Amino acid sequence: MKITFPYMGSPYMYEKLFSLLGHEVITPPRPSQRTINYGVKYSPEFACFPLKIILGTYLEALELGADTIVTSGGNGPCRAGYYGEAQKKILQNMGYDVEFIIFDEPKRDWKSFLENVKKIKGNNSWRRVIKTVKTVYDMAKSMDKVEKIVETKRAYECNKGEFTKVWREITEEYRKIESSEDVKRVEKKAIERLNSIKICEVPEEEKIKIGIVGEIYVVMEPSINANIEEVLNSYGAEVERSHYISEWIDFNLIPLPSYKEKEHEILKKAEKYIEIIIGGHAKQSVGAIIDFMERGFDGVIHLKPFGCLPELVSQSVIDKIMREYDYPILSLSVDEQMAIANVLTRIEAFLDVIKLKKHRKRIAR
């Protein structure tokens, strides 16, 4: 099998999983304007933006020789649950002979989940599969841990671009790992490198912390969200996302209650506004906003794909939260028409509002 997969955040974890199991891996190129054009051209006009981008990455990977696509299914009553089947049909209609392996939550259909695992397992022993999965899980946890350090400290770097340069070098080191021991070694070295970068001290009362919430693909993929984390860091704001891949694994793939506590806590915080899971990450977005607010973040940016019904519902709730708590929240719609200059202007204005709010609070003391 020549396996490819959706490009979302760092692709190295998915790449490592399949390569350690002996498969030939076709890593799709980082999404670009060409990817967007491809996806938009062949997707239904009314489809969610992530479906279009992911279809574009599949087409680029197929051009590179991929013959098998491994992806996850949707979560809850959302159109994302049909992504795999819809994209499979589109590619078949275009004449591609490609196998789709779609992983839904194990609890939804254990039998299909295990059948898909066996396809990926190939001739490997179960012992090797378990060791590989543990290595990749450790890698995901470690990369998320180190990335959170970057998202915090990059806001105060003295030499602009230094953290980004080092982070790219660190991700290449993760790409070379072969075992959990390698992960520990790379993480230790990565943290040492990040701690050695010179940062400019900022008074605690002037620091700005921004949470990013929304649909998982547009939150995690910088190439289509205007690289929003790096932009916010460049304006001197610390950033934290509501989605990290290791936390998604904990909640969706590991059948142990202790791994789901954080997600359940976030969902509980949203129950005042959304009682049930309505699809996508709408309830998680609202819960994450409350969580960021309670943890002292100065504001939240909400990212939603144009046409995403669950996030449209969460946006209607966001207006209520803003009024109820006088809390700054900026909602940005992401699609193929998104203008970078417009996004930057809105972010600058949003940060100015937060700075003014903090200034008035200090004066009032």
Summarised one tens digit per residue, pLDDT across range 301-334 is 999 998 788 888 888 899 999 999 999 999 999 9
Summarised one tens digit per residue, pLDDT across range 109-132 is 888 889 999 999 989 999 999 999
Residue 100 and residue 36: Cα distance in Å, rounded?
21
Residue 313 and residue 329: Cα distance in Å, rounded?
15
Residue 31 and residue 56: Cα distance in Å, rounded?
8
Please give the sequence-ordered ranges of beta strands (E in DSSP) within 159-267, or none if there are none.
208-214, 237-241
Summarised one tens digit per residue, pLDDT across range 128-168 is 999 999 999 999 999 999 999 999 999 999 999 999 999 99
Question: Which of 290, 363, 364 lies closest to 327, judged by CA?
Answer: 290
Summarised one tens digit per residue, pLDDT across range 10-51 is 899 999 999 999 999 999 999 999 999 999 999 988 888 999
| Pair of tokens at residue 158 | 């003295």
Q: Which position has the higher pLDDT, 281 or 291?
A: 291
Summarised one tens digit per residue, pLDDT across range 265-284 is 999 999 999 988 887 888 99
In this predicted structure, what is the pLDDT of residue 76?
Answer: 57
